Amino acid sequence: MTQLSRSDEADRMIELFGDDFASLHSIVERQFGVLMARAQVLLGLCGVVVTTTGFSGRIIAGTNTLAQWLIIGGITLTLASAVVVVFGVLPLRWLTQQPGETTKLWLTNSMLYRDMKLTHYRLAVVCLLIGLTLYVAAIGIMLVYPEANAVKLVR
């Protein structure tokens, strides 16, 4: 399925709402609201991973060297996901501050800003999913080798 260009999407929205700036502003604002809500969920998942690592990370890493590297990789990618969300999705610039001499230009600039944030959100999702995959692989290794301290930890 092909996506509309920003210009075509702006034309469609103007066709639906005319030059009613309040309605156009409202729909774009709702789109940003959805994106922010999803970003908050992503940050919550990152927090769960960090908290879980605090409680059981040492036990998982104590299984063997591969589990150590997997959990380090998993937590690193999880934190990278949080960084992308915090610096790429959550920063604010109000819609009323978007440049544009005409309604269509304002709408197109607002969509560009939205799409930039969406790209950061998608990158954060990919980082989190890969990080969780590594984390779960480390847990899997721990379950295969359930003996405590299967590998002596170097201090």
Buried b / exposed e over 61-100, threshold 16 CB at 10 Å, is: bbbbeebbebbbbbbebbbbbbebbeebbeeeeebeebee
Write down the residue that tokens 């959550």 correspond to.
Answer: 90
Whether residue 4 lies inside any domain: the answer is no
Q: What is the mean pLDDT of residues 126-136?
A: 96
d(CA 92, CA 89): 8
Kindly state whether residue 5 falls inside one of the protein's structural domains. Answer: no
How many other CB atoms are there within 10 angstroms of residue 127's CB atom?
A: 22
CB 111, CB 6: distance < 8 Å: yes
- Its domain, for residue 45, covers 19-144
Q: What is the pTM of this model?
A: 0.86
What is the biggest distance separating any 2 CA atoms in the chain, rounded to whole angstroms?
69
- Determine, yes or no, domain membership for 154: no
Instruction: Encode pLDDT of 5-58 as tens digits.
Output: 888 989 899 999 988 889 999 999 999 999 999 999 999 999 999 898 888 888
Among candidate residues 10, 17, 41, 2, the one with its CA nearest the CA of residue 111: 10
| Mean pLDDT calculated for residue range 104-133 | 95
Does 112 map to a domain? yes
Q: Is 32 helix (H, G, I), strand (E, B) or coil?
A: helix
The reply to whether 11 falls in a domain is no
What percent of the chain stands above pLDDT 70?
Answer: 95
CB 121, CB 71: distance < 8 Å: no
Number of domains observed in the structure of the chain:
1
Q: How far is CA 85 from CA 8, 14, 33, 89, 128, in A?
A: 28, 30, 14, 5, 11
- Reported as a single tens digit per residue, the pLDDT across 47-89 is 999 898 888 888 787 888 888 899 999 999 999 999 999 999 9
Residue 150 lies in a domain: no
In a domain, 78, yes or no: yes
Q: State the pLDDT at residue 153.
A: 54
In a domain, residue 151? The reply is no
pLDDT of residue 65: 85
